[in-house]
Structure 1
Amino acid sequence: MALWSGRFEEGVDDFTQRFGASLPVDKRMYAQDIAGSRAHAKMLAATGVISAQDAQEIDAGLAGVLADIEAGTFVFDINDEDIHMAIEGELTRRIGSAGARLHTGRSRNDQTITDTRLLVKDFCVQLMRGNLALRQALVNQAKAHPEVVMPGYTHMQHAQPVLFAHHMLAYYWMFQRDFGRIAAALQAADVNPLGSAALAGTTYPLDRRMTAQELGFSQVTPNSLDAVSNRDFLLDLQYACSVTMIHLSRLAEEIILWSTQEFGFITLSDSYSTGSSIMPQKKNPDFAELIRGKSGRVVGDLMSLLMVMKGLPLAYNKDMQEDKEGAIDAFDTVCDSMRCMCGMIETMQIHPDAMMESARKGHMAATDVADYLAKKGLPFREAHAVVGHLVLLCEKRGCQLDDLSLSDFKAECDLFEADITEQLDLPSIVRARTTEGGTSPQAVAVQMQAVEETMAHDAALLG
C-alpha cells in the first residue's frame, strides 16, 4: 500500500497505478529531491522538531540512496508512484523510524514544487552556458570573415548587400535576447516554497529562510497557496526555450538554403551532414532540418502547459503532474539543438566568391542610385521612379545596373554624372552604411565591441 493509504481499504489497480504514476518522469529530479530532504531534515533538527540523532541518520541514509541512484544500483518501483515516495520509502526501509519523521512539516505539494524549482534553476544554468557557446561560434565566424559581402534579402528577394559578419551578428543578438529570457526564468525559479506544506503552511516552527539558504534560494515565497500552485516559472522557462528554438529554426533554414547548389554560400562539415541510401552524390543538411523540425515540439510543450494551467482553481490539482514532462523535453531538445547548431557554425566552410557573385545579381545598387539623385535635390519618390525605369530597362536587356552606360542613365535623368559608377560598386555600397547598427565595416567594428561587452557580462553571471 502507498504511504498515504491509511484511510483507504483497497489499493488502486495496476492500470490506474501506472496511469497516475509520475515516477517515470520525475525520477529525473532525484538529486533535487534528496537535496531538499537533507535541507529539510537539517532545519527540523535546528528548530527542535526532530532530534539531532534523527537528522544525522536521515542525512546519512539519503546520502546512501543518492550514491546508489548515481551508481545505477537503485531499483525504481512504479508502485512508489513518484520520486518522493520512492526515496522516502527506501530511506525508511534502511533507517527505520527516523526516516518516517522526515516528512514532518511538509507535503508532497511543497516538496515537488521545491524539487521542480531546483531542477529549473539547473536547467537554466545549462541553457545559458549552451547559449554562450553558440553565440561565441557566431562571433568567431564573423571575425574570420570581416569583409565578405553577401546579398541581404527581404521577401527572399535580393534587397541590399550586407557583410556576412553583419548577418552572423544579427543571430548573435537574437540569442543574446534568449539568454536574457532564460536568465529571467532562472530568477523566477529562485524562490523557496518549502514550508508551505499542502496549501496553508504548518503548525511546526519551521525556519523557511534556513532551508532557502541551504538550497541556494535567494528568497522565500510570501503566500503558501500561491507557492504550491504557481507554475509561472515553468512557463517562463518553456517560453524562453520556444523563442530560442524559433531562432534556431530560422538559422537552420538559412543554413539549409545556403548549402544548396543554387546558393553555394557554404559547405557543411561531413560531421553535420548525411548521405542518401540511393543517390551517391547527395550531401544532406539533415541536422539543420532536424533542428528546424524540433522547434514544433518545444512550442507544443509550452502550449501544453498553458492549457494545463488555464482553468485550475487554487491550490494544488493533479493536473499539475503534467507540468514537468514538457519542460524536461523542451530543455533536452534546446540543449541538444544548440550544441548541434554550434558545431555546424564552427565547422562550416564559407564561400566568399559565391556570396559576392550572388550579390551582383538583382540590381542591389538600386537604392543607392536613388539616394544619389536625392542627394542632388531630386525628391526621393521621383528618384525612386527614375531608378525603377532603369531596373525595368535592365530586365528587358537581361543585364545589371552596372552594365548600363552613362548615356542610359542620363536618358532617364540629367542629374546623373560620371561618378554614378561609384554608386554601383558593392563594397562601396556596404562601406556607406555607417549609421549605428549598420553593415559597414566601421559600424560592424563598433557593434563587435558591444558584442564583446555583452559576452563578458553574460559570462560573468554564470561565474
Structure 2
Amino acid sequence: MAAKAWGGRFQQQTDARVEAFTESISFDSRLAPVDIKGSQAHAQMLAKVGLISDEECQQILEVLTQIGVEIEQGQFEFRFDLEDIHMHIESALIERVGDIGRKLHTARSRNDQVSTDLKLYTREAIHRIDSLLKDLQVAFVERFERDQDLVLPGFTHLQRAQPVKAAHYWFAYCEKFDRDRQRLQDCLKRVNVSPLGGAALAGTSLPIDRQYTAQLLEFTDVARNSLDISSDRDYLAEFCFCMALVATHLSNWAEEWIAWFSTEFGFIKLPDAFTTGSSIMPQKRNPDVLELIRGKSARPIADVQQILVLLKGLPMAYNRDMQEDKLALFDSYDTVAACLELAAAMVEGAELQQETIAAKLEDGFLDATALMEYLIKKGTPMRTGHGIVGKLVALCESRQSRLVDLSLEELQQACPQIEDDIYQILGARNAMAALCSFGSGGEEPVNEQWQYWKEKLGI
C-alpha cells in the first residue's frame, strides 16, 4: 500500500484488474516535461513561503531534472500500479531523496497538479499549431509570383461561376487559417490562467503564494475559485474545437485539390513524393495524403463530441471521469499537427497545369456576370440585365458557342445599350480583369492581398 498516494486508510491491495482499468500512464506519460516544470515551480514557492528549506528545494529541483532526463532518454520504467505520470515522478523522487520528496506535494492535490500540467501542455500545443499554420500560410503566399499570370474558374455548387486570379484561392485559405490562428490566440487567454494552488477543491490553510507560481510558470493570471479549478476543462473543449475547425479547413482544401488532381479537372500536379500508386493498375497516381488529411479530419471533430459528452453530466469539482479528457486533447492535437506538417510541403511542391487550365478556361460562361454588370453600368436594371444575359447564354448553348463569339449586332438585338467596348470585358481573362472591388479576385485587388499577407507574415 505504500506505493499508493491514497493507501493509508485501505486494508486490501488494489485488484490487478482495477489497476489495469484505472491506469493512465499509457497515454499521459507525455505530460512528464510539464509535470516536472510545474513541480519545480511548486517547490520554489514552498521554499519562498518557508514550508521547505532552500536546501530541500534545491535537492528536489536537481532530482526532478534528473528524472526528466531519464524519461526523455527512455531509461525510466513505467508501471500500471503507479497509475499516472504524476505518481511515477513523485515516487521516483521519494525513492531518491526520502522524506524531502514527500514534502513536494504539500499544499497541492493531484487535481490542481493535473490541471496545471494540462494547461502547460495545451499552451505549448497552441504555440506549435500556430507556427505550423503560419508555415502553411507562407507556403500559399509564396506561390503568388509563380502563379500570378494564371486565371482559374471560381465555383459555386461545384459549377463554374466567375474567373479569378489563381492567387485568390491561395489567399482565401490564408484567411481561413488566419481565423484559426486568431481563435487559438483567444483560447490561449483562458488556457494561460494558473490553477496551481487550488488543491483538491477548497484551497489550503497553508500560506502558499499562488501569484508566485503563476509568475514562474509564465501564466498571465491566477484562477480565482478553487471549486471551479477542479472541475474546469472548458479550455480543453475549446482547444479541441479549434483543432476541429483547423481540420475542417484542411479537409476542404484537400477535397478541392483531390478534385483538381483528377483527370476530369486536370488543374494540378502533385509531387510524386506525396502520392502513391495502385497495386494492380500501373498507370495510377493516387492523392492518398490528401485523402487521409480529409479522412483524419473526422477524428478532431469526434474529439469535440467526446470531451463535451464526458463533461456534461459531472457534478462540481473533480471526478475520475476526467482522466479521459486527455484522450481528446492528445488525439486532436496529434492529428492536426501531423496533417499540417505535410500540408505546407504539398502546397510548395504542387504545380498548376497551365495548358490544361487555359484549354478549358472559356468553358462555362465565366464572363456572364461581367456582361450583366456591363449592362448595369449602361443603365439596365439588374434583374432585367440578368434576364438578358440568361437568354444570350441559352442562345450560345444552342449554337455551342461562347458569348465572345456573338456579333455586336446580335448583342445589340438583345440590348441596344451594348457598344463595341463590350469585347473588352467578354472572355474569362477580361472578366477577371474587370473585377475591382476590395477583396475581389481581380488583378489589383489580388495584388493588394499579396502585399497585405507579405507584411502580415513578415515575408
TM-score by length of 2: 0.97
1 CA distance for matches of 2:234 and 2:357?
45
> What secondary structure is seen at the aligned counterpart in 1 of 2:333?
helix
* Cα-to-partner distance string for 1:82-136 (whole Å, 9 max, x where unaligned): 1111110111111111111111110000000000000001101110110110000
Deviation at 1:28, TM superposition (A): 0.9
Question: 2: distance between equivalents of 1:383 and 1:285?
Answer: 43
Kindly state the Cα deviation for residue 190 of structure 1 after the two structures are TM-superposed. Answer: 0.7
Q: Which residue of 2 aligns with 1:237?
A: 239
Deviation of 1:12 after TM superposition, in Å, equals: 2.3
Partner of 1:289: 291
| CA displacement at 1:448 relative to structure 2 | 1.8
Give the counterpart of 1:305 among 283, 304, 307.
307
State whether residues 141 and 346 of structure 1, in contact with CA within 8 Å, keep that contact through their aligned partners in structure 2. yes
The 5 Å alignment of 1:63-462 reads 63-456=65-458
3-state SS, counterpart of residue 424 of structure 1: coil
Distance 1:15 1:156 in 2: 55
Where 2:401 maps in the other structure, the secondary structure is coil
Work out whether residues 113 and 196 of structure 2, in 8 Å CA contact, stay in contact via their aligned partners in 1: yes
Offset, 1:261? 0.8
Measured in 2, the distance between the counterparts of 1:167 and 1:353 equals: 19
Partner AA of 2:9 in structure 1 = R
Superposition deviation, residue 377 in structure 1? 1.8
Whether the aligned pair in 1 keeps the contact of 2:144 and 2:450 (CA below 8 Å) is no
How far the C-alpha of 1:401 sits from its partner, in A, is 1.5
Show the counterpart of 1:51. Answer: 53
**Aligned residues, how many?**
457
Once residues 421 and 212 of structure 2 are traced to their aligned partners in structure 1, the CA distance between those partners, rounded to angstroms, is 75
How far residue 53 of structure 1 moved from its aligned partner, in angstroms, is 2.4
Give the alignment partner of residue 13 of structure 2, picking from 11, 23, 30: 11
CA distance, structure 1, for counterparts of residue 457 and residue 324 of structure 2: 36
Deviation at 1:243, TM superposition (A): 0.6
| Shift of residue 426, structure 1, vs aligned partner | 2.2
**What SS does the aligned partner of 2:161 have?**
strand
CA distance in 1: counterparts of 2:442 and 2:367, whole angstroms: 15
How big is the alpha-carbon RMSD for the aligned residues of Structure 1 and Structure 2?
A: 1.3
Partners of 1:159 and 1:364 within 8 A in 2: yes
8 A Cα contact 2:244 2:301, kept in partner: yes
Alignment partner of 1:21 is 2:23 = yes
Do 2:370 and 2:434's aligned partners in 1 also have CA atoms closer than 8 Å? no
CA distance, structure 2, for counterparts of residue 180 and residue 204 of structure 1: 40
Matched to 1:383, the amino acid is G
Moved more, 6-15 or 40-49: 6-15
Q: Is the 8 A contact 2:376 2:385 kept in 1?
A: yes
Question: What do residues 134-189 of structure 1 show as CA deviations (whole Å, max 9, x unaligned)?
Answer: 00001011232112101001110010000000111000100011011111222211
Paired residue type of 2:438: E
Distance 1:445 1:399 in 2: 33
Does structure 1 retain, via aligned residues, the 8 Å contact 2:134–2:457?
A: yes
Q: Quick check: 2:200–2:230 contact (8 Å CA) kept in 1? A: yes
1:427 Cα deviation after fit: 2.1
Q: What runs of 5+ residues in structure 2 fail to find an aligned partner?
A: none
Equivalents in 2 of 1:341, 1:428: separation in Å?
A: 33
Asked if the contact 1:29/1:83 (under 8 Å) is kept, the reply is yes
**How many percent of aligned residue pairs carry the same amino acid?**
42
Matched residues in 1 for 2:357 and 2:244: separation? Answer: 31
- Deviating more after overlay: 288-297 vs 225-234: 225-234
Partners in 2 of 1:45 and 1:380 — Cα distance?
76
Letter in 2 for 1:160: Q
Displacement of 1:192 after TM fit?
1.0
| Contact in 1 for aligned 2:60/2:101 (Cα 8 Å) | yes
Contact 1:147/1:165, CA 8 A, preserved across alignment: no
Runs of 5+ unmatched residues, structure 1: none
TM-score normalised by structure 1 residue count: 0.96
CA distance in 1, matches of 2:272, 2:336: 22
Distance 2:62 2:152 in 1: 63
Q: Distance in 1 between matches of 2:12 and 2:29?
A: 26
Q: Which amino acid aligns with 2:293?
A: I
